[in-house]
Chain A
């Protein structure tokens, strides 16, 4: 329908963006009816998303003509930004930015480097940046899930953790079950992506390759490569994050520093 109304690609894109935004706002309103208030977060995320992606798109037009080594700086900047966003999801968790930076950098960075060296990612900026960003974004999501879940688990089990400490246990051992749970939960999306590949989900990378004339079999195999890379970088990120995070909630004298956040009267009212 839209294609008949708009002849220019830019106008068509804007119209599609408006419809997608309206849909997101409708979901937000539905949530509001259920007393789940996502208004501010949704609007900020939508505005931020469109501004960021348009700006990056404009910059990429220039950057993608540059030499391959410039992609290292681009990817490094993406890792720092991802760490910042991910740590914002874990307010109250000590050293969350450092943990996120090491986890995402170590997880996504090492997979990008290894797969570029092995030849699975072309060492050109047009390959490195889009595939790298995909790996970093997934690593960021996994990192946020580990940290968020870990914080909730620790907050819910303060009594048991301090009982372990009071019995002379190593602080890291007292939170080991919650690290394990957080790690497992964080990898569910990556594992489900692998399991559902081709059945439930035909991702954009494969669609793009088909549209650009690649062989369907090669496009399918490369999509598997991409999803496997996502799983590896997410898994590695989750592992690094879980290793670093378990010590971050204790003081040098092995005292639990993370305390449950107070529940406000408004929050209780809303959930009721």
Chain B
């Protein structure tokens, strides 16, 4: 990444698009400090994120990846993982409320080994929400799903993000998806910003660049 300066407002959804190797995922990994910037920094609520403990930062900046990496065990075990790191025990009622949000009501005790790709991604989203983040990073969250599951998960993500007032950065290679979900679009190419602006000014509804 080089010379990338961007401000994302509270509650805004920023789509990050661009060709393979443009640095989209790298950009996201810098935001929750899974990778370290060699220069420059990231500010969360105006505070340099190096002044925040990495664990605390990551609790506040949730992430959903392309492949849903679920821990062996039940759905509830996965949802309890994040809060347990801060010593918080999540009651069964709160687990159920999270599962209702992602359309998996009544399935807390189910083993994650038996879930479909779409269901696993829903659990991954609920797990990210369980730590009550203020920012949500989505790294191509639907690209590994079939067409039907892709539509469902995309609608779900959008409703969850809007309902919880989350600030969101979503990486997508699908311009039509970016047009559907984002307030603004940032186009990356070779690690640099090629274009950034309101979605309607960068891409049209069919998902083509203006």
Contacts and interface: CB of A to CB of B under 8 A. Distances in A.
Contact of B82 (A160, A168, A254, A256): A168
A169 interface: yes
Contacts of B127: 167
B33 A168 contact: no
B63 interface: yes
A153 interface: no
Contacts, number: 58
Contacts of A165: 34, 54, 58
Contact of A255 (B35, B62, B128, B131): B35
A251 B34 contact: no
A118 interface: no
B131 A168 contact: yes
A173 to B, nearest CB: 8
Nearest to A161: B69
A160 B69 contact: yes
B85 A170 contact: yes
Interface in B90-146: 127-128, 131
Contacts of B55: 168-170, 254
B127 to A, nearest CB: 7
Contacts of A256: 34
Contacts of A159: 65, 67, 69
A164 B81 contact: yes
Interface in A138-170: 159-160, 162-170
A167 B69 contact: no
A166 B58 contact: yes
Interface of B: 32-36, 50, 54-56, 58-59, 62-63, 65, 67, 69, 71, 81-82, 85-86, 127-128, 131
Given A163-B69, A163-B71, 12 more contacts: A162-B34, A163-B65, A164-B81, A165-B34, A165-B54, A165-B58, A167-B85, A169-B55, A170-B85, A173-B85, A253-B36, A255-B35
12 contacts: A162-B69, A163-B69, A164-B71, A165-B54, A165-B58, A166-B62, A167-B128, A168-B58, A168-B59, A253-B33, A255-B35, A255-B54
